[in-house]
Structure 1
Amino acid sequence: MGSAVERTDEHVREYLIYRGFTSTLKNLDSEIKGFITRRLFCRLEDVYRATVNKLRTSLYRYYVINTIQKGNLEKTQEFFQKQALELQVQAEWRDWFILPFIPIPEQNSAFSPYFSRQWADTFLVSLHNFLSVLFQFLLSFDAEVQRTTSLTEENDQLRQLLFALQTENRDQRDGDEVVHHKLPVYVQNMDRLGDTELDLVSSTRTVSATTTPSRNFFSTFLPQAKRTPGKPPQVITVSSPSQVAVGRKDLQASTSDPVSSQSQQSTNQSTNQQAHPRHKRIQDHEKERKELFSKPLSQGGEVEPVAESTSEPLESSSTKSSGGGAEGGGLSTEQPFIKLSQEEYGEHHSSIMHCRVDSSGRRVASLDVDGVIKVWSFNPIMQTKATIMSKSPLLSLEWATKPDRLLLLGSGVGTVRLYDTDAKKNLYEMNIDETHPRILSLACSPSGSSFVCSAAAVSRSGSLETVPRLPLPVSGQLLLWDTKTVKQQVQFSLEPEPVAINCTAFNHNGNLLVTGAADGCIRLFDMQRYESAMSWRAHDGEVYSVEFSYDENTVFSIGEDGKFIQWNIHRCGVKQSEQALPQDATGPFVLSGYSGYKQVQVPRGRLFAFDSEGQHVLTCSSSGGLIYRLTNGEPALESVLSLGGHKAPVVTVDWCSAVDCGTCLTASMDGKIKLSTLLAQKS
Structure 2
Amino acid sequence: MNSVQQVDELVKEYLLFRGFSNTFRAFEQECRNDKDKGFQADKIIEELNSYIASSDINGLLDYWKYLDLRYFSRLDARFFGSVKKFETSLLRNYLVYATQQKRRDKVIEFFDTFGTELNGNPEWSKWFGLPFSKNPATDPSFETFFTKQWLDKFTVSLHNFLNTIFQHMPLPSLLCFNLDRLRRRALQNEIDSLKTELENGDTEIISLKQKVAQCDLAGSRRQSCDNLREKNEKVSNHQYVPRFTLNTSEVNLSSSLSLSRSTTLSGKHETGSDQNGVKTPTDERSMTPISEYDTDELELRNGHAIANPFTVTSQELFLENTSGISVAKFSHQGDLIASCDVDNVIRIWSYTGTSSTLKLSNQNSNILSLEWEARSDKLLLYGTDERLVKVYNKESRSIVHEFQMDDRFPRVNQISCSPVESLFACSGSPRSIDDACIKSVTGSLITWNLKTMTIQDTFRFEASSNSPSSLPLSPIETIKFNHNGQMLVTGDKSGSIRIFDIRTLAPIMKWNISSTSKSGNGVICSSLYSFDENSIYVVEDSGELSQWSVHKPGLAISQSKLQGFPPTIPTTLINFTPTSTKTFRKRATSTSSVRSTKSTRSTSSIPSIVIGTETISHYTPTSRVPMVAFSGDTDYLVCVGGNDGTQGVIYQTSNGDRVQVLESQKQYLTSVDWTNSTGNTILTAAIDGTVRVTKMEPSTSHNVL
Q: Based on CA coordinates, which of the two structures has the bigger radius of gyration?
A: 2
Please state if 1:646 is matched with 2:619: no
SS at match of 2:666: coil
The residue that corresponds to 1:485 in the other structure is 452
- The range that moved more, 442-451 or 496-505, is 496-505
Structure 2 length-normalised TM: 0.51
The residue that corresponds to 1:668 in the other structure is 686
Q: Deviations over 1:188-221 (max 9, x none)?
A: xxxxxxxxxxxxxxxxxxxxxxxxxxxxxxxxxx
SS at match of 1:600: coil
Which of residues 347, 359, 362 in structure 2 aligns to 1:387? 359
CA distance, structure 2, for counterparts of residue 172 and residue 641 of structure 1: 39
CA distance, structure 1, for counterparts of residue 152 and residue 291 of structure 2: 36
The residue that corresponds to 1:267 in the other structure is 187
Amino acid at match of 2:478: C
Q: Within 5 A, what are the aligned runs for 1:511-660? A: 511-539=486-514, 540-581=521-562, 584-585=565-566, 592=573, 594-595=611-612, 600-603=620-623, 605-621=625-641, 622-631=645-654, 636-659=655-678
The residue that corresponds to 2:699 in the other structure is 681
Residues 629/581 of structure 1: CA separation in 2 closer, same or farther (3 Å cut):
closer
Assess if the C-alpha contact under 8 Å between 2:170 and 2:532 holds in 1: no
Report the Cα offset of residue 270 of structure 1.
8.6
Assess if the C-alpha contact under 8 Å between 2:367 and 2:382 holds in 1: yes
Q: Deviations over 1:302-328 (max 9, x none)?
A: x987489xxx9xx843xx613x4xxxx
Amino acid at match of 1:484: K
- Unmatched 5+ residue regions in structure 1? 1-34, 41-134, 176-249, 254-263, 272-293, 325-333, 463-468
Report the Cα offset of residue 454 of structure 1.
0.6
CA distance, structure 1, for counterparts of residue 412 and residue 455 of structure 2: 15
Report the Cα offset of residue 519 of structure 1.
2.1
Aligned residues: 414
Which of residues 379, 404, 407 in structure 2 aligns to 1:431? 404
Structure 1 length-normalised TM: 0.53
Amino acid at match of 1:368: D
Q: Within 5 A, what are the aligned runs for 1:272-287? A: none
CA distance, structure 2, for counterparts of residue 145 and residue 620 of structure 1: 51
Residues 162/342 of structure 1: CA separation in 2 closer, same or farther (3 Å cut):
closer
Residues 163/461 of structure 1: CA separation in 2 closer, same or farther (3 Å cut):
closer
CA distance, structure 1, for counterparts of residue 658 and residue 680 of structure 2: 18
The residue that corresponds to 2:483 in the other structure is 508
Please state if 1:156 is matched with 2:123: no
Q: Deviations over 1:20-77 (max 9, x none)?
A: xxxxxxxxxxxxxxx999779xxxxxxxxxxxxxxxxxxxxxxxxxxxxxxxxxxxxx
SS at match of 1:534: strand
The residue that corresponds to 1:321 in the other structure is 304
Report the Cα offset of residue 418 of structure 1.
0.8
Report the Cα offset of residue 491 of structure 1.
1.4
Report the Cα offset of residue 155 of structure 1.
2.8
Q: Within 5 A, what are the aligned runs for 1:96-111? A: none
Which of residues 326, 338, 343 in structure 1 aligns to 2:316? 343
Q: Within 5 A, what are the aligned runs for 1:160-171? A: 160-163=166-169, 169-171=175-177
- Unmatched 5+ residue regions in structure 2? 1-121, 128-139, 192-284, 462-468, 515-520, 574-609
Report the Cα offset of residue 637 of structure 1.
1.8
Residues 503/144 of structure 1: CA separation in 2 closer, same or farther (3 Å cut):
farther
SS at match of 1:158: helix
Q: Deviations over 1:400-421 (max 9, x none)?
A: 1244310111111001111111
The residue that corresponds to 1:375 in the other structure is 348
Q: Deviations over 1:601-626 (max 9, x none)?
A: 12254333233332222121112211
Residues 586/384 of structure 1: CA separation in 2 closer, same or farther (3 Å cut):
farther
The residue that corresponds to 1:105 in the other structure is none
Assess if the C-alpha contact under 8 Å between 1:415 and 1:433 holds in 2: no
SS at match of 2:657: strand
CA distance, structure 2, for counterparts of residue 448 and residue 295 of structure 1: 57
Residues 524/299 of structure 1: CA separation in 2 closer, same or farther (3 Å cut):
same
Q: Deviations over 1:526-558 (max 9, x none)?
A: 223321122222242421221221111111122
Report the Cα offset of residue 159 of structure 1.
2.2
Report the Cα offset of residue 352 of structure 1.
1.9
Residues 489/395 of structure 1: CA separation in 2 closer, same or farther (3 Å cut):
same
Report the Cα offset of residue 144 of structure 1.
12
CA distance, structure 2, for counterparts of residue 158 and residue 534 of structure 1: 33
CA distance, structure 1, for counterparts of residue 629 and residue 151 of structure 2: 33
Fraction of identical pairs, as percent:
25
CA distance, structure 1, for counterparts of residue 189 and residue 692 of structure 2: 44
Q: Deviations over 1:351-386 (max 9, x none)?
A: 22221112211211111222111111123x375431
Superposition CA RMSD, Å: 4.4
CA distance, structure 2, for counterparts of residue 349 and residue 398 of structure 1: 21
Q: Deviations over 1:632-671 (max 9, x none)?
A: xxxx222221112312222222111112x32111122222
Q: Within 5 A, what are the aligned runs for 1:445-464? A: 445-460=418-433
CA distance, structure 1, for counterparts of residue 359 and residue 332 of structure 2: 20
SS at match of 1:170: helix
Residues 577/304 of structure 1: CA separation in 2 closer, same or farther (3 Å cut):
same
Q: Deviations over 1:247-290 (max 9, x none)?
A: xxx9xx9xxxxxxxxxx99727999xxxxxxxxxxxxxxxxxxx
CA distance, structure 2, for counterparts of residue 599 and residue 345 of structure 1: 19
